[in-house]
Structure 1
């Protein structure tokens, strides 16, 4: 008779152990209270630099963003109060969505309270039993969860391998009514990008819909920070669904869907994650809207981020560190041989005032642990040189020329 785990606590303990609890027995780099850590370091005359936060353009603490949030709090209060469909909207909702649509060059935008929820609810809502979803194997967990929640059939293609995608479509496209292709623009674990012009050509030739997750590329890619479409010269009208987040360059939280107006109107009345959830808090809308103003006004921030990321990857390569397929924009990983080595490197950096949590087992394959660096326009050159020098001198050296990642959650 098979052994049964009798309690949820026993089950959770077992799953936690399998997820890598042993790595954390001597040093736990997670759930660090970064604001307290920074204050403590400053009080003792030490430095604290985070490469773990995706405030790509350094806007989260901008005085105008804080002032806008405070103003909205005083005028509207804190909460959204209800579902926008059945409880009515705040004026801040429509104003921000129109402004964001104009920035992205799309017809319409719909905002939601969670970036993760945006992918889950959108993909599961769009695709039904006679449909199929073809998704990159390294897609973010929110995309994968959305595909699992859908009644449609899912097919994974090798990471950024559009030849493989084409071969799958050639074999299987005619078996389905509707087909959705789902990719990220700038991949959050590897820092590489999809070949969007070719992907658009494939989706048109095989009569598919295309969803592009621009969570890490808005404010990062393109001369004006408009994302992968601007970076690659693709008309946003050729993308059926663009999803994104407000938690990165918009210095806030929540998600958004950008699409043609008929699509957005349909989702506004039917999308479960929108209809059955509250809208953005006025405080959030005001902060994100002001951040968008700053992005468009302070274009030097985009160039500074680009400079910092390119410097980081240049110095890393000079030091013999493996950055995988990263193109040198907002996200750059340093790959290691095993989880223990990765944790040791993270601990070494933290002891010198650099916060870079390790990533292993959850989010990446077991054989591809890494330190993932989020670069920001607010990082100084001395911060970047300092952290690379520490890694280069660390006794547990990262592996060189590791194979590309082949699977992830």
Structure 2
């Protein structure tokens, strides 16, 4: 008989296996950012965060805060029920219409979580005679959605659409319906999917295509309308667009956009919508205000692009590895091992830059990194400063082995 393990014992063992040893020198996660920022300001020190995906710098915009405050005063905090059984607020419909117009799609449904939007949509669409094809570097919300689906899941190599084409040619006829799911801008690597190629594969193999635009709305395209604008593709050719309100729109929640008939069906059947509370009026108002400002203050998209391109260019000049990042919104800097990544993160924090390490969770174990979210609110001095800080540390690290070797050879 196996020994009984308490839930506490189980959790402790799993935590140790997941890499608790990395925290023994200090926990770089869950930092009280507001406190750190306040303390730095009070002492005249620098504190610049590259850990928050406020891509357009709208999270503290006076008009966003004013819209939230007015909604709070007029309608209170909570949505109070599922929209289906408890009724909805006019703000829900207004936000959905605003997103639809912005993206150039027929209809949109907003949910309380971007993560939930992927999980519930994927698991709801497919049956036992269907298949789901996903990128090997898909976000955990896509993977979780695949695990909740009764359909078969097939994984293709990251952004390798020749491989996807091969798999579809080999297996498409086995299934009734097939859904391809990709991300537009990948949140760990900062690279993008080839939408034109995906559209060609979708139409040739007669399958559905879902694009997760979480990190690309407000980022990709001349006016921030996402991967379709960036690639010059009509959004009507994409079956489903899923996104979030928590990044460029400075709020919280998710959305699913599609043809009107599809969204209307989901309004009455999608579990994550029907059986979950609606968005708070405060959240709706803030997101709507941010979306309006993103269009009125279009310079923010341009400044974000310039900052991100400068970040990647300066990193390359300094000999730092940004992987496949294209210089839009998010970019990693890769390190040889997790402990070096932790040390680099701590070095940045000591010099006024907050960039938590990405190790063990969310990326392959042999590809630890610091992930930088670039914002329109960052200055060129912020961007250059953080690269200079990392480059100086890297130069010192390179000198240490040479110095040690020289000492060992000395008489």
Sort the TM-score into its range (normalised by shorter chain).
over 0.9
Q: Which runs of 5+ in 1 are unaligned?
A: 398-409
1:342-357 equivalent positions in 2, closer than 5 A: 342-357=341-356
Tell me how far 1:130 sits from its aligned partner. 0.4
Tell me how far 1:281 sits from its aligned partner. 0.4
- State the partner residue of 2:67: 68
1:176-208 residue CA offsets vs partner (Å, 9 max, x unmatched): 000000000000000000000010110111111
- State the partner residue of 1:315: 314
Residues 344 and 396 of structure 1 are in contact (CA less than 8 Å); yes or no, is this contact kept in structure 2? no
CA distance in 2, matches of 1:155, 1:163: 14
- State the partner residue of 1:150: 149
SS in 2 for 1:154: strand
- State the partner residue of 2:209: 210
SS in 2 for 1:191: coil
CA distance in 2, matches of 1:396, 1:179: 50
CA distance in 2, matches of 1:5, 1:65: 53
1:6-405 equivalent positions in 2, closer than 5 A: 6-394=5-393, 395-396=396-397
User: How much is the aligned-residue C-alpha RMSD, in angstroms?
Assistant: 0.8
- State the partner residue of 2:403: none
SS in 2 for 1:189: coil
Tell me how far 1:81 sits from its aligned partner. 1.0
CA distance in 1, matches of 2:44, 2:336: 34
CA distance in 1, matches of 2:107, 2:235: 11
CA distance in 2, matches of 1:345, 1:27: 13
Bigger CA radius of gyration: 2
Tell me how far 1:4 sits from its aligned partner. 3.9
1:127-152 residue CA offsets vs partner (Å, 9 max, x unmatched): 11000000000010000100110000
Change (3 A) 1:152 1:387: same
Residues 341 and 396 of structure 1 are in contact (CA less than 8 Å); yes or no, is this contact kept in structure 2? no
CA distance in 2, matches of 1:347, 1:56: 24
Runs of 4+ in 1 over 3 A off after TM superposition: none
Residues 27 and 347 of structure 1 are in contact (CA less than 8 Å); yes or no, is this contact kept in structure 2? no
Tell me how far 1:393 sits from its aligned partner. 1.3
TM (normalized to structure 2)?
A: 0.95
Q: Which runs of 5+ in 2 are unaligned?
A: 399-411
Tell me how far 1:79 sits from its aligned partner. 0.5
Query: Relative to total residues, which structure has the larger helix share, 1 or 2?
Result: 2
1:37-62 residue CA offsets vs partner (Å, 9 max, x unmatched): 00001111101000000000000000
